[in-house]
Amino acid sequence: MGIRPEDLNEGQNLWQEIERVFDPDRGGVTFPPDFRRVYAGVENEVRSGNIHSILLDGRGRAWATGANNAGQLCLGDTLDRMIPQKIPIKNVVDVAIGGEHTLLLLEDGTVYGCGSNKLGQIGLGDLIRDVSTPTQLFLLPSPATSVSAGKDHSLIMTSRDLLVMGSNQYKQLCGKFMFSSTFFDMVLQLDLFFILIIYVTLS
């Protein structure tokens, strides 16, 4: 967030306003836009402090900061960022963040993923280990309405289905799957009552 690592202490730190961002379209470091939402990830390893965050502004632009070891900042590389940098994608309306992956939902219902796919958490099959640029998930049966994520798994709600992908180590995919991970988005069979509950939770 623009604070030098040497100025931070373990435990509680003072609130710090975001005073600068990096916007390649405006020549580099500049003043921040009007942010509307902030999405924070989870530590991939306990007590590591390595997380990433995505900020969404009022114009549908997403900004990424933090850890980027698997390309989860969607900026085309694996370099960490200390201040938010604009992701080269437009019309973002929702974001989901895991330990090392990110999902971006666009206004037209398409979903893009970046970061680690080692357990299938961004639904790009079992041949792609990670991606550092926003990559579209082409297997959605209908336009998405919301996205959500845990440390190593993801959920996508469409107008007709709830799709799950990624790690199933603790049965977090909620289905009767016989495997520990799913590398493609799979439809979770639930009745309408439970789908409505999940939709309210994700909204």
**Closest listed residue to residue 144, CA positions, set 61, 63, 202:** 202
DSSP run (H or E) holding 133: strand 130-136
Q: Are 94 and 102 in contact (CB under 8 A)?
A: no
The CA-based dihedral angle spanning residues 132, 75, 63, 39, taken in that order and rounded to the nearest 10 degrees: 20
Place of tokens 């916007």: 23
**pLDDT for position 14:** 73
Encoded amino acid at 140, one letter: L
Per CATH, the number for 17-202 is 2.130.10.30
Structure tokens at 31: 């003043």
> What is the pTM for the complete model shown?
0.82
The domains of the chain are located at 17-202
Average pLDDT along the chain, 203 residues, taken 10 residues at a time: 61 78 94 94 74 96 95 97 95 96 97 94 88 92 92 89 80 60 50 43 47
**pLDDT for position 30:** 95
DSSP run (H or E) holding 200: helix 192-202
Structure tokens at 15: 């609130």
**pLDDT for position 28:** 94
